[in-house]
Amino acid sequence: MKAISSMATRRVLADLAEAAAAAGLPLLQLESVGGVDAAQRVTAGEPFDLVFLAEDALQRLAAERHVDPASIAPIVLSDVAVGVAARSADAAACSGGTAFTNADELRSALRAAFRIGYSTGPSGLELLRMIDHWGMTDEVSDRLVQARPGVPVARLLADGEVDLGLQQLSELVGQPGVCILGVLPADCAISTVFAGAVATSSNNAARAAEMLAFFRSDLAASIKSLHSFRAP
């Protein structure tokens, strides 16, 4: 069975696929690429059994009849977190709780940062929309650094390309050279629901649907938590 996903969920999906195989489901050959690239490949007609992307991206693919709309199933919810280079941070700052008290503190951090790293995909777009809503686009646009497709913000931080990075918590956890300050506070939180769907090109739609059901089962919950995702 063949699947494609965005980079944000590659690790958790790999572990979920391993658990599914141990439970007697088919082996899943998973390829993870940038979300935009994944959607383009599905749109171009490349055959897959399952597609895992942000839920809104899957809805667009469903509208174009590339995935079965009735099969779209939320798998995980991902929160955006804030990181800095570990070498520039006090160890006590790496709390992993909430990065700032409120949106005012985030705005201050953005103004103070020399370079601000953000990701491709839905979380990056939402950050740009939020900055624009705050009227800060002109103020910070020349300091925004979008990670190249397939390159995590964590690497930008570790390599010194940026000094403040915002990306899904699951993409920052455990990455070398990164201190995670925490997730964004409630008044400016960015969360993305990643879902799965059966591709209309699948030759085994029934088994693909069984795989999705397993990924949403109680047996999968602990795997999602280990990768710093929440239930949608």
Residue-range domain boundaries for the chain: 1-74+192-225, 77-181
Angle between helices 205-215 and 218-226 (to 10 degrees): 60
Cα distance between residue 29 and residue 71, in whole Å: 19
pTM score: 0.85
Question: What are the start-end ranges of the E strands in the chain?
Answer: 2-6, 29-33, 50-54, 73-85, 116-118, 144-146, 164-168, 178-183, 191-198
The list of the chain residues with pLDDT below 70 reads 88-93, 95-96
Q: Could you say which architecture CATH assigns to the domain 77-181?
A: 3-Layer(aba) Sandwich (3.40)
Query: Do 231 and 224 touch, CB atoms closer than 8 A?
Result: yes
pLDDT of residue 91: 52
pLDDT of residue 35: 85
CB atoms within 10 A of CB 94: 16
Same CATH topology for 1-74+192-225 and 77-181?
yes
The structure tokens listed for 160 are 């010194």
> Each residue of 152-188: pLDDT tens digit?
899 999 999 999 999 999 889 888 889 999 999 999 9
Q: Which CATH number fits domain 1-74+192-225: 2.40.50.100, 2.40.128.20, 3.40.190.10, 3.40.50.300?
A: 3.40.190.10
